[in-house]
Amino acid sequence: MKFSRLAAVAGASALVLGIASCSSTGGKPRETGGGMGAGTADTPRAVVAMITHEVPGDSFWDLIRKGAQAAADKDNIELRYSNDPEAPNQANLVQTAIDSKVNAIALTLAKPDAMAPAVKAALDAGIPVVAFNSGFDDWKTMGVQEYFGQDEKLAGISAGERLQKDGAKKVVCVIQEQGQVALESRCAGVRQGFKGQSEILNVNSKDMPSVESTITAKLQQDPSIDHVVALGAPIALAAVQSVSNAGSDAEVVTFDTNAALVDAIKAGDVKWAVDQQPFLQGYLAIDSLWLYLNNKNLIGGGQATLTGPSFIDDTNIDSVAELAKAGTR
């Protein structure tokens, strides 16, 4: 059902492009070499701010930005990307976008309470706002008009059920930022879907050597842990080293991917990853705003448009690896 919805989204976007190409008043695509080979619409030039809680050094966000830029290139949009992992600073970036009178805003809601006043200010200024990646449980009550991402609790449950099928007995779920609602929802879902023993380990992603040492110490302290569940590719790669440091037999599984993580799955160092398709999130967030600005379309029927979860493992890693080399997976 989730991917049928995505197919419908893609079809809707293609339909509007087709309508625009037949119009004598605008929207005719002109061929360019940009984006992913699509033409560029001659709909009125729009400025869209994309504001995220990106943590520097995590190339997951490069995929989101590439997807956003591909849509912007196609849609004749000037994309203004900015980020800050601290919620108050991210909210300030939203206010800066409002002050610069952008046409629309796409943002993440990792810490919804801190972002709520800035979102309200944008809406009060008449600026359409969509959310993606984080904020699944809060976007609608905040008045945001569309959401693109995965249901983090559902993704966690799916991961927990897979751990159960894999024969796991005891897992540790590693949260790299306390208070980040998406991460906490993932671990809560894992604990719901998995019937064995599980516990949470908090680490500080701003200090990767300490992440590695903290996971190492946990594995040394408790040799019965047979699976480490990471919530991001950099943490998973640190956990691989921790397993080696501790002399542990634990398997590493993770949420989210980047190019290095794809290589780790190919090498067998990481067993599988839950994929939420970050390129698609960035693409749909920007493309949806183009549809709204030019045709007042809303995607999802008042519900979130899901981009995951799906699994990347040894059964499909070769095809994904080729796309990772191109920088889109």
The domain total for the chain is 2
CA separation for the pair 44, 316 (Å, rounded) = 41
Pairing relationship of beta strands 310-312 and 273-275 according to DSSP bridges: antiparallel
The predicted structure's pLDDT at residue 26: 38
Rounded to two decimals, what is the model's pTM? 0.83
The predicted structure's pLDDT at residue 3: 37
Is residue 128 predicted with pLDDT exceeding 80? yes
Residues 78 and 98 in one domain: yes
Residues 37 and 176 in one domain: no
Residues 142 and 283 in one domain: yes
Residues 59 and 192 in one domain: no
What stretches of the chain adopt beta strand conformation (E)?
Answer: 46-52, 77-83, 104-107, 129-132, 146-149, 170-175, 197-202, 227-230, 251-255, 273-275, 305-306, 310-312
The predicted structure's pLDDT at residue 326: 81
The predicted structure's pLDDT at residue 16: 42
Q: Is position 179 within any domain?
A: yes
Q: What is the CATH number of the domain that holds 243?
A: 3.40.50.2300
Check residues 206 and 32 and name the one with the higher pLDDT: 206
Is residue 253 predicted with pLDDT exceeding 50? yes
Secondary structure class of 181 (helix, strand, coil): helix
The predicted structure's pLDDT at residue 327: 81
The predicted structure's pLDDT at residue 233: 94
The predicted structure's pLDDT at residue 59: 85
Q: Is position 290 within any domain?
A: yes
Confidence of residue 299 (pLDDT cuts 50, 70, 90): very high
Q: Is position 175 within any domain?
A: yes
Is residue 22 predicted with pLDDT exceeding 50? no
- Between CA 319 and CA 324, with CA 322 as vertex, the angle to 5 degrees is 110
CA separation for the pair 7, 31 (Å, rounded) = 24
Q: How many CA atoms lie within 13 A of 317 on its CB side?
A: 21
The predicted structure's pLDDT at residue 38: 65
Confidence of residue 6 (pLDDT cuts 50, 70, 90): very low
CA separation for the pair 321, 132 (Å, rounded) = 24
- In percent, the amount of the chain with pLDDT more than 70 equals 88
Q: What is the average pLDDT score of the chain?
A: 89
Check residues 1 and 114 and name the one with the higher pLDDT: 114
Residues with Cβ within 8 Å of residue 275, at least 6 apart in sequence: 256, 257, 308, 309, 310, 311, 312
Is residue 4 predicted with pLDDT exceeding 70? no
Residues 286 and 137 in one domain: yes
List residues bridging with 46 in a β-sheet.
77
Residues 18 and 31 in one domain: yes
pLDDT in tens, 194-247: 999 999 999 999 899 999 999 999 999 999 999 999 999 999 999 999 999 999
Check residues 11 and 279 and name the one with the higher pLDDT: 279
CA separation for the pair 95, 308 (Å, rounded) = 30
Q: Can you give the residue range of the structural domain that contains 205?
A: 152-275
Residues 192 and 202 in one domain: yes
Secondary structure class of 200 (helix, strand, coil): strand
Residues 78 and 167 in one domain: no
The predicted structure's pLDDT at residue 311: 96
The predicted structure's pLDDT at residue 322: 85
> For 99, which DSSP code?
H
The predicted structure's pLDDT at residue 118: 98
